[in-house]
Amino acid sequence: MTVAQPYVGEAVPFRTILVSNTTLFHIAAQELGNAMYWTVLAKENNLVDPWINGLTTIAIPALFDTTDTSGILGA
């Protein structure tokens, strides 16, 4: 009998924060240690605009690609 292995995304926890009137640059700098990681947050949260207006829940991944520091979404 084969036991299904959990999808890695299910096993890797992430946390959420509630923010308003800020930018993904600011959140990335605070939460991930580098403002250029805003693209990680954008991809994780299906966002294309780094400006956040109004109350928004942002998922902060526990693991992410640290080699992409271009700061260009989709690069």
Q: What pLDDT is attached to residue 8?
A: 52
- For residue range 21-64, what is the model confidence (pLDDT) as tens digits? 999 999 999 999 999 999 999 999 999 999 999 999 999 998 88
Q: What pLDDT is attached to residue 10?
A: 57
Q: What pLDDT is attached to residue 11?
A: 60
pTM of the model: 0.78
SS (H, E, C) 11-56: HCCEEEEEEEEEEHHHHHHHHHCCHHHHHHHHHHCCCCCCEEEEEE
Which residue, 54, 49, 50, 62, is CA-closest to 19? 54
